[in-house]
Amino acid sequence: MDKQRVIDIMQSLGTAEDVACCVLLLDFIQKKTKKIYYYADFVGAVAELNLNDPIQLVQRCLNLFKSKRLAILRQEYRYLDDDGVVYGVEVEDLQAAHLDGRLFLEWRNYSDPDFASKVYIVFFAGDGAL
Residues 10-61 have pLDDT tens digits of 889 888 888 999 999 999 998 888 889 999 999 999 998 888 888 999 999 9
What is the rounded CA–CA span in Å between residue 65 and residue 60? Answer: 9
Q: What percent of the chain has pLDDT over 90?
A: 61
Q: How far is CA 36 from the centre of its chain?
A: 10
Per-residue pLDDT at 129 exceeds 70: no
Beta bridge partners of 125: 73
User: Shortest CA distance to 47 belongs to which of 61, 60, 37, 57?
Assistant: 57
Instruction: Give the dihedral of Cα atoms 97, 115, 59, 35; nearest 10 deg.
Output: -110
Q: Please, what is the average pLDDT of the chain?
A: 90
pTM (two decimals): 0.83
Domain ranges of the chain: 3-73, 75-124
| SS3 state at 17 | helix
pLDDT at site 117: 96
pLDDT tens readout for residues 68-118: 888 999 999 999 998 999 999 999 999 999 999 999 998 889 999 999 999
Question: For 117, phi and psi rounded to 5 degrees?
Answer: -85, -5
What is the rounded CA–CA span in Å between residue 81 and residue 61? Answer: 30
Q: How far is CA 45 from the centre of its chain?
A: 14
Beta bridge partners of 104: 111
Q: Per-residue confidence at 128, pLDDT binned at 50, 70, 90?
A: low
**Which one-letter DSSP state was computed for residue 23?**
H
pLDDT at site 103: 96
Beta bridge partners of 74: 124
pLDDT at site 111: 94
